[in-house]
Structure 1
Amino acid sequence: MRFSEPVRMAEDDGGPVWARSKRRRGGPPVVGFIITLLALFGALTAVLGIKERSVAEGGAMIDGWITAGWEQIKDITGQADEATDEALTEAADAADSAGAALGEGADEAARTLQSE
């Protein structure tokens, strides 16, 4: 039996039907990463629940870690905000002095042109 050209091209993507894999291997890497993180979080919760003899106390320990990390992030970004404010102030001062110097130069140039 002869098939038309489009049918042969459609079948040309992986060899014969009996040699093709039934399952698609892999998947989106983001989904696998999220599942891995959730599994690790679940295992950590279970281990801390056993260690602290209470899931609530294990969760409180995790909450403490998250709070400490969040405070460090806020401190780091706060320092970045302060440094940015200082840099902006210095840039504004430099712009003011450059503008004043430019104004003085323009005034002097105008006086020189008028005297000629």
Structure 2
Amino acid sequence: MNIQEIPLSADNQVFTIQLGDNQLRLRLIFRDEAGWILDVMAVDSTPIISGIPLVTDINLLAPYSHLGFSDSLLVVSDDRAQFYPTKTNLGFQSHLYFVTDN
């Protein structure tokens, strides 16, 4: 098993990152009541998945296996009672991990 923490800050952000065999562009936006939302795009910004809410302890990519995603994307909070990253703790007390079975 290979675990890679995706470096984040508590700001809206767009960046390109290598995840497994894929180079992807990720966009994270804080949407007030909806919390942090993740969009996954190709490097040229073509949308692949839009509007994934960041929720702890579930594989965020599980519903998208039909798109070829076989690995996991997990949000983990340092505070086990917290189910969502807050506006100010993303990347500090709430972490996003890419997990492969390799």
TM range, smaller chain:
under 0.3
**The structure with more radius of gyration:** 1
Select the structure that is richer in helix.
1
Give the TM-score normalised by structure 2: 0.20
TM-score (ref. length: structure 1) = 0.18
